[in-house]
Chain A
Amino acid sequence: MSNVAVSMYPKEFLAEFYRRMVLVREFELRAIEERRRGLIPGFIHSCVGQEATAVGAGLALNRDDVITSTHRGHGHLLGKGGDPRYMMAELAARAPGYCRGRGGSLHIADFELGILGANGIVGGGFPIAVGAALAFQMRREPRVALAFFGDGAVNQGSFHEAANLAGLWRLPVIFFCENNLYGEGTPQSRQAPLADLARRAEAYGFPGVIVDGNDVLAVYEAVKAAAERARAGQGPTFIEGKTYRYRGHYEGDPQIYRKPGELEEWLARDPIPTFRRRLLEAGALDEAALQALEADVQRQLDEAVAFAAAAPFPKVEEALAGVYGETHGGLVF
C-alpha cells in the first residue's frame, strides 16, 4: 500500500492531509513548550513522529463515525477534527477545556465529533469501540468505530476479548494499531513473540493489514477500505501501521532504551518532510502554498495558546459536579 500516487487526490485534499499533520506535530511541540513554561500542569505523552497514522485514519472516517483513543491521543483528536483551542485549554486545566478541567490530556472527549475519549489505561478503549459498533449494527446505521492503540496494548486481555466479540458478531469496527516499536520503555520484540501484530487478527476471524504508518496516504487508503468493509456488513479489520515515536513515552522520559542509530534511521522517514517532498515533486502544491499552510497552523496554535492562557480556571465547586447525571436530590454529585 506504500507510495500511493499523489496524483490520485485533489489538491485541496492533499493540502488538508499536510496541514493537519503539521497541526498535530506543532500542537505537540507547543504543548511541550507550554508545559515547560508552566501553563500545563500534567503529563504529556506526545505523538511526535506518529502524525501520519492519526491524520490518515482520522480523515478516512466520516464525522459520525467514532474513535476511541489512547494516552498518546492528541493526534487522534486533531485528526478527527478536535479543536486545538479546547484541547490546549484542557491541557492547561481551564474551565473551557474539553473536559472543563476535570480530565486533562488522558481523557479528552468530544461526543459531537465522535471522539469517545482518550484513555489513561493501555487497552481500555477496545471494548468501548466494540460496544459503539454493536449499537451501530443493531440500529442499522452505516457507522464505524475505530479503536486506536499501540503495540503494547495487544497484550492486554481487553484486546482479545474485544477482538473475539467483534469477529464473532462481525461488528463494524477497525482495530488500528500504531506499532511504534516500544511499549513504554520496553521494545515490542520483548513484549510479544510476533513482529507483525496484524497476524493476531486471524485468530479472531478477520483480516489483518500492514501499512507504512509513516505514509499518510497509505494509512488513509487502508482505513477507507476497512471502513467500507465494515459498512458493508463484512466485519472488523485490524490495521497495523508501522511507525516510530521520536520523543519519550512521556515528556521527561530519559529514553535509555533506544537502540543506537534507530532514531536517526526513523527520522530519515519522518512522515511530514517526506510527504512535503512528495507534494513538491509531484507538483501538487508549491513551496508558497506549503508555507502558507504552515503559517496558518502557527496562527491557529498562537490562538489556541492565547485562548488557554486567558481562560479562567474552573470554580472549585465544579469538582463536585458531573459524576452522575441524576443526583437524587443531592445525595450524590
Chain B
Amino acid sequence: MSTAKRTAGWSFELSVNYHGVTVKTMREITYREAICEAMSEEMRRDPAVFLMGEDVGTFGGVWGVSQGMLAEFGEERVRDTPISEIAIIGAGLGAALVGMRPIVEIMFGDFLMCAGDQLVNQVAKARFMSGGKANVPLTIRVTTGAPGSAAAQHSQSPESWFTNVPGLKVVTPATPADAKGLLRTAIRGEDPVLFFEHKMLYDLKGPVPEDPNFSVPFGQAAVVRAGQDVTLIGVGIMVQKALAAADRLAQEGISAEVVDPRTLVPLDKATLIQSVAKTGRVVIAHEAHLRNGPGAEIAAVLAEEAVEYLDGPIVRIGAKNVPLPYSPILEQYVLPGVEDIVRAAKAIVIR
C-alpha cells in the first residue's frame, strides 16, 4: 500500500533547488503525525486555535494523535475534558461563536450520537438560523471505521449520516498528505467540519510537504491513479484498498482509475463525472454500510449526470447491512475488501 509519488492535485516533487542547494521538501510521515503537525502548526500560528477532548492531553489521545502537544502548548490549549460529548461539541460551538477556532476530538465516530443535538441542531444550523451572521470555525476530529474486533459501537463509519445535514462539511482523508492539507483547510475555514480519521490509516506513511502553508482545498477530488477501463471511487480507507485492487486488476490487463472525493460535502461532482466519462464504468467503495452510505449519493449523481457515459451498471461496495460483529471471521465477512472491488470491477469490465 505504498502511497509515494502519486499525484493528488499538488506538486509531488521530492526536492527543490534553492539557491544552488538541494532542499528536501517532502518526507515520509504517518497519517497520525500529519494530523498532529497540522494542529501544532496552526496552534503556533494562531492563538485562537486550541484542542479539547477526552484524553487528548496527558494521554496524548487514545489514538496517539496529540502526543507531545500538551508539553508544547500547555493544559489551557490542549484540554482534557470529562467524558461529555454534548459539552465538548457544544462548548466548541460556543467558543467558536465568540471568536475562537476550536478543534475538538471525539474519540470514536460512534460517540457523535451522544452529542446529536449539539452537532445537528446547533452547530450545523447556527449560521443559517441567524441569517448567515454566525461564524462557526469549529473542527470536529473524529475517528471512523473498524479497527478490528471492536464490535458494533466502536467500528462504525458514520460519514454519510451527516452528509444529509446542511451546514456540516464532511471530510474523509485517505493519505497523510491529504490528512494534513485538509485539516489545515478545516482549521482556517469559517464553517463546522466533521473530519473523519480512519483508525487503520494512522500508521500509514506517505510523503507530506513541509511547507507550513500546505493545504488541500475542499471540494476537489483527487485522481490518485490514472486508468482507462474502470473508475474506482474510494472513500477514506477504501482509497487505499482501491489502489491495491487496481494493482491486481493491472495484472489481469485491466486499467483502473482510482478517484478519491476527499470531501463528501462539498462533493466535487465534476472530477467524478470526468473520470466516468473516460472509463464508462464505475465501482464505488466505502467501509460504511451499503444502504445509504456515501456511495448512494455518488451513484445518484452519476446516474443523474453521467448516464450517457456509462457502459455498465454503477456498482457499490460497502459493509453488509448489519452492525459490525466482534469475531474476526464474522467481521471480515461483513466488511468490504480489496477482493470485493476486484471482483466487481471485473464483472462490469469483462462482459
A residues at B contact (CB < 8 Å)? 66, 68, 97-103, 107, 109, 111, 116-117, 119-121, 124, 126-136, 138, 145, 157-158, 161-162, 164-165, 168, 321-329, 331-333
Known: A164-B87, A325-B190. A117 touches B130 (CB 8 A): yes
How far is B80's CA from A119's CA once the two chains are assembled, in angstroms? 28
How far is B180's CA from A243's CA once the two chains are assembled, in angstroms? 53
How far is B163's CA from A94's CA once the two chains are assembled, in angstroms? 30
Partner of A329, one of B87, B132, B219: B219
A-B contact pairs, 20 of them (CB 8 A): A66-B98, A97-B131, A99-B131, A100-B131, A100-B132, A111-B133, A116-B98, A128-B97, A131-B95, A135-B94, A135-B99, A162-B91, A322-B128, A324-B127, A326-B189, A326-B191, A326-B218, A331-B268, A332-B265, A332-B266
How far is B73's CA from A304's CA once the two chains are assembled, in angstroms? 50
* CB of B7 closer than 8 Å to a CB of A: no
> Does A120 contact B121, Cβ atoms closer than 8 Å?
yes
Which residue of chain B is the closest to A130 with respect to CB atoms?
Answer: B91
Per-residue CB contact flags for chain B residues 70-82 toward chain A (1 = under 8 Å, else 0) read 0000001100011
Known: A111-B134, A331-B266. A124 touches B122 (CB 8 A): yes
> Does A136 contact B82, Cβ atoms closer than 8 Å?
no
Per-residue CB contact flags for chain B residues 10-54 toward chain A (1 = under 8 Å, else 0) read 000000000000000000000000000000000000000010000
* CB of B117 closer than 8 Å to a CB of A: yes
How far is B120's CA from A120's CA once the two chains are assembled, in angstroms? 13
> Does B98 contact A132, Cβ atoms closer than 8 Å?
yes
How far is B335's CA from A331's CA once the two chains are assembled, in angstroms? 31
Closest Cβ–Cβ distance, residue B203 to chain A (whole Å):
31
With contacts A99-B131, A128-B90 known, what are 15 further pairs, Cβ within 8 A? A97-B131, A99-B130, A107-B129, A116-B97, A127-B90, A127-B93, A131-B91, A135-B94, A135-B99, A158-B87, A322-B127, A323-B127, A324-B190, A328-B218, A329-B219
B95 — which chain A residues lie within 8 A by C-beta? Answer: 131-132, 134-135, 138
How far is B128's CA from A294's CA once the two chains are assembled, in angstroms? 36
> Does B82 contact A168, Cβ atoms closer than 8 Å?
yes
* CB of B9 closer than 8 Å to a CB of A: no
Per-residue CB contact flags for chain B residues 215-227 toward chain A (1 = under 8 Å, else 0) read 0011100000000
> Does A321 contact B129, Cβ atoms closer than 8 Å?
no
How far is B14's CA from A113's CA once the two chains are assembled, in angstroms? 52
A107 — which chain B residues lie within 8 A by C-beta? Answer: 129-130
> Does B131 contact A98, Cβ atoms closer than 8 Å?
yes
> Does A127 contact B129, Cβ atoms closer than 8 Å?
no
> Does A133 contact B50, Cβ atoms closer than 8 Å?
no
* CB of B198 closer than 8 Å to a CB of A: no
A117 — which chain B residues lie within 8 A by C-beta? Answer: 126, 129-130, 134
How far is B84's CA from A165's CA once the two chains are assembled, in angstroms? 8
> Does A158 contact B86, Cβ atoms closer than 8 Å?
yes
Partner of B97, one of A111, A124, A328, A332: A111
B93 — which chain A residues lie within 8 A by C-beta? Answer: 127-128, 131
Which residue of chain B is the closest to A68 with respect to CB atoms?
Answer: B94
Closest Cβ–Cβ distance, residue B338 to chain A (whole Å):
31
How far is B93's CA from A157's CA once the two chains are assembled, in angstroms? 17
* CB of B285 closer than 8 Å to a CB of A: no
Which residue of chain A is the closest to B87 with respect to CB atoms?
Answer: A161
Q: What's the interface size class on B, roughly? A: 35 or more
How far is B94's CA from A66's CA once the two chains are assembled, in angstroms? 10
Closest Cβ–Cβ distance, residue A47 to chain B (whole Å):
20
Which residue of chain A is the closest to B138 with respect to CB atoms?
Answer: A131
How far is B126's CA from A157's CA once the two chains are assembled, in angstroms? 20
How far is B100's CA from A66's CA once the two chains are assembled, in angstroms? 15
Closest Cβ–Cβ distance, residue B193 to chain A (whole Å):
10
Give residues of chain B (271-328) contacting chain A, Cβ–Cβ below 8 Å: none
Per-residue CB contact flags for chain B residues 193-206 toward chain A (1 = under 8 Å, else 0) read 00000000000000
A165 — which chain B residues lie within 8 A by C-beta? Answer: 81-82, 84, 87, 91
> Does B266 contact A131, Cβ atoms closer than 8 Å?
no
A109 — which chain B residues lie within 8 A by C-beta? Answer: 129-130, 133-134
Closest Cβ–Cβ distance, residue A140 to chain B (whole Å):
10
How far is B90's CA from A126's CA once the two chains are assembled, in angstroms? 8
> Does B92 contact A124, Cβ atoms closer than 8 Å?
no
Which residue of chain A is the closest to B185 with respect to CB atoms?
Answer: A326
> Does B82 contact A158, Cβ atoms closer than 8 Å?
no
How far is B131's CA from A98's CA once the two chains are assembled, in angstroms? 7
Known: A107-B130, A111-B97, A135-B95. A128 touches B169 (CB 8 A): no
* CB of B242 closer than 8 Å to a CB of A: no
> Does B86 contact A322, Cβ atoms closer than 8 Å?
no
* CB of B96 closer than 8 Å to a CB of A: yes
How far is B268's CA from A323's CA once the two chains are assembled, in angstroms? 18
> Does A127 contact B94, Cβ atoms closer than 8 Å?
yes
Give residues of chain B (162-194) contacting chain A, Cβ–Cβ below 8 Å: 166-167, 169, 189-191
